[in-house]
Amino acid sequence: MTCRKTILFFLISILFQNSKSVNFLVYCPLFAHSHHTFLAKIADTLSEEGHNVTFLAPIIVQKYENFKYLKHTTDIIYIQPDEELKKLGEIMGSAGFSKYWTEEPSVFSMIPSIKLFQKMFHKIYENLRADLSILDSLKDRKFDAMIYEVLAFNAIAIQQYLGIKTLYPTFSVTHGMVLSKSIGEPASPATLSSALSPYGEKMNFQERLMNTVCAFIYQVFMKPPKMISYSHPYYEIDLKEAESKASFVFLNSNPYLDFPRPMLTKTVLIGGISVNTSQIREERLSDEYHNILNIRVKTVLISFGSIMLSTDMPDRYKSIIVKVIEEFPNVTFIWKYESDELDFANNLKNLHFFKWIPQTALLADSRLSAFITHAGLGSINELSYMGKPAILVPIFADQLRNAKMLVRHNGSISLEKQDLGNFEKLRVSLAKILKDNSFQENAEILARQLNNQPISPRELLIKHATFGAEFGELPSLDPYSRQMSFFSLNMIDIFLFLGVFLAILVYFLFTFLRLLLNLLLKKKAVEKSQENRKTK
Ligand SMILES: *[C@@H]1O[C@H](CO)[C@@H](O)[C@H](O)[C@H]1NC(C)=O
Ligand SMILES: *[C@@H]1O[C@H](CO)[C@@H](O)[C@H](O)[C@H]1NC(C)=O
Ligand SMILES: *[C@@H]1O[C@H](CO)[C@@H](O)[C@H](O)[C@H]1NC(C)=O
Ligand SMILES: *[C@@H]1O[C@H](CO)[C@@H](O)[C@H](O)[C@H]1NC(C)=O
């Protein structure tokens, strides 16, 4: 060790002994709402704990420029896009998800989006290489750990350039099968449905086949483009290898809500971290909402989130929803609807429109009876923690699996989006959720479990993030199975060997028995002929 290195080592160890404050880098390209909220919550949670958090945010989609998700983290560094990245951002910003109101998503429909993500993140990689001064200015911050979403693969180039020893991949959906493979976690498509698939844990043959093909495509054909390291000796970055060295992986899945599956110690489930129940209960509704909630005994909230706009849904669905609302004159409805053109609503007395709604405060209010939602993961977590019955109408992406995940807790009813055009089905579902108390009771049981889970998502994040920052890569958590070949991991060699062995055994046994039989028959024949000779 050189003298300078020794001194540095001493300084670092003194720093660690005297203060538990960790230096985190959270890397979060700004491209899609639900991804930012998850990473921002992680950043805020860590900085609330007194750690130093730098939030590095390359801008891709311009509308996210004024980043409002961070409440506590103050150290935010934007990277402005160049023209080409801006163009990719425009494609992303106008990605036209509204087509999914009518189009059926398949396991393959997210492929173009993921290809676009890869292009965007690779462009950021190239832009940073063209001007390394941004990263150079971060070098003296001496980060202990880096947190990023696994989609933004170019984070690895940054990690390696800045020499950050601890890496935390995260995912804002429940799980990622490619990430599981990287860290050596069992992720058989026979039992684990892809987060973007419409399947649950119970799959029939056709579904397992699609799930397997989908997993194979993501694994083999959807590899991100090549990256060369930013500094000497300019090696090709091995993403899988880098991910396998992650100390922990943080996922937006909650074990008391999600389907159970085999996992490694490395995988830490912090789903629900975005929902702070005590904070939400303190949120105040405006007088306007109070008055509306007081009109009738029951109130239902309708919202399809911020990506799938209610205004974009087929007119047929709108008029069916209005007709159903007409059938419930004793129930008040609040509908998040993003336009002023409300002719279709026939001026119903019990229907109130808002372009924006205080969703969490409404869900926390005991006067709200049920929620009709698109089953986005954010809304699923919120309504689950607040114990509200729901009618789930998933539209696309992970929403279909989310709905299956929640519905098995018996506090909600899941419909297909086409059912929005089915008056009778919608009316019956609504009547059921409002009249049958078991939905409310089951929703409350789930909420109690989530709010009292043995170790809270917040605690899980903080403890694991600081532990990993202290010890760096944790080889003890890296299973050998990760390095096994497909053949040996899936016991194909063993089954083949045992199969051949059994076949040989059976063959010999058969041959032996035949010989024995032949011998006996011959003997008998001889005896018979002798007998015959005697009698003659
Ligand atoms: C955290 O950041 C503050 C302000 O930038 C700095 O003074 C402090 O030394 C940092 N702490 C650590 C442990 O790096
Ligand atoms: C919720 O928020 C409050 C106030 O912002 C904070 O003190 C508390 O630690 C948070 N709790 C959880 C579980 O996040
Ligand atoms: C609405 O409530 C009123 C008074 O409680 C009752 O008479 C009426 O039958 C109710 N209507 C429906 C459709 O349930
Ligand atoms: C939901 O109901 C089904 C059928 O009654 C039952 O088998 C299952 O255990 C229930 N699930 C939960 C989480 O209570």
Neighbours of 45 (CB within 10 A): 23
pLDDT tens profile 284-334:
999 999 999 999 999 999 999 988 899 999 999 999 999 999 999 999 999
**Ligand (nearest to CA of 350):** 3
Nearest atom of ligand 1 to the alpha carbon of 21: 13
Q: Give the distance (Å) from ligand 2 centre to CA of residue 458.
A: 9
Question: What is the Cα–Cα distance from 171 to 253, expressed in whole angstroms?
Answer: 9
pLDDT tens profile 366-382:
999 999 999 999 999 99
- Cα–Cα distances (Å) from 148 to 25, 33, 35, 172, 306, in that order, read 8, 15, 10, 10, 23
Name the token pair of 367: 């006067």
Task: Say whether pLDDT at 16 is over 80.
Answer: no
**Amino acid 17: pLDDT:** 46
What domains, with CATH codes, occur in the chain? 19-276+456-483 (3.40.50.2000), 277-451 (3.40.50.2000)
Task: Say whether pLDDT at 10 is over 80.
Answer: no
Residue with CA closest to ligand 1 atom 2? 52
User: Which of the two residues, 28 and 111, has the higher pLDDT score?
Assistant: 28
**Amino acid 166: pLDDT:** 98
Q: Where are the beta strands (DSSP E) in 248-393?
A: 249-251, 267-269, 298-303, 331-336, 351-354, 368-373, 390-392
- What pTM does this model have? 0.91
**Amino acid 531: pLDDT:** 82
Question: What is the Cα–Cα distance from 393 to 372, expressed in whole angstroms?
Answer: 7
What mean pLDDT is reported for the chain?
93
| 75 pocket-lining for ligand 1 (C-beta < 6 Å) | no
What is the mean predicted confidence (pLDDT) over 248-253?
A: 98
Residue with CA closest to ligand 1 atom 13? 21
Ligand 1 pocket test, candidate residues 19, 49, 52, most atoms within 8 A of CB: 52
- Under the banding of pLDDT at 50, 70 and 90, the label for residue 436 is very high
- Under the banding of pLDDT at 50, 70 and 90, the label for residue 18 is very low
Q: Spell 359-368 as b/e; 16+ CB within 10 A means b.
A: bbbbbbbebb
Residue with CA closest to ligand 2 atom 7? 279
What secondary structure letter does DSSP report for 105? P
Residue with CA closest to ligand 2 atom 14? 276
Percent of the chain whose pLDDT exceeds 90: 84
Q: Give the distance (Å) from ligand 4 centre to CA of residue 272.
A: 22
* Residue 19 amino acid letter: S
Task: Say whether pLDDT at 268 is over 60.
Answer: yes
Please provide the DSSP assignment of 193-260 as one string: --TTSS--S---HHHHHHHHHHHHHHHHT-PPPP-B-SSTT-PBP-HHHHHHT-S-EEES--TTTSPP
- Under the banding of pLDDT at 50, 70 and 90, the label for residue 91 is confident
Q: Give the distance (Å) from ligand 3 centre to CA of residue 331.
A: 10
